[in-house]
Amino acid sequence: MPAVGTEKTAPIVTLALDTSSRASSIAVASGDQIVKFVINDADGGRSERLWGEIESVLDETGLTLGDVSLYAVCTGPGGFTGIRVGVAAVKGLAMATRSRVVGVTALEALAYGARPGEIVCSLIRGHHGDVYSQVFTIEDDGAPAVLLPPIVSPLADAINRVTDRDAVLFVGEHATMNAEAIGQAAGRRYREADSLRLKGWRVKPEPGALAEGIARLAFLRHLRGETGWAESLAACYVRPAEAEIKLGLGLVGSKINRMLKTK
Domain ranges within the chain, ordered by starting residue:
13-107+208-241, 110-204
Within 8 A by CB and 6+ apart from 171, the residues are 110, 111, 114, 120, 121, 122, 123, 203, 204, 206
User: Do 13-107+208-241 and 110-204 share a fold?
Assistant: yes
Minimum mean pLDDT range among 115-124, 175-184, 202-211, 245-254: 245-254
- Do 50 and 19 touch, CB atoms closer than 8 A? yes
* Distance, C-alpha 151 to centroid of its chain: 14
Distance CA 133, CA 123 (A): 5
pLDDT tens string 80-104: 999 999 999 999 999 999 999 999 9
Distance CA 238, CA 231 (A): 20
pTM of this structure: 0.84
- The CATH label, of 3.30.420.200, 3.90.226.10, 3.40.50.300, 2.40.30.10, for the domain at 110-204 is 3.30.420.200
Residue 44: the pLDDT is 62
The superfamily in CATH containing domain 13-107+208-241 is ATPase, nucleotide binding domain (3.30.420.40)
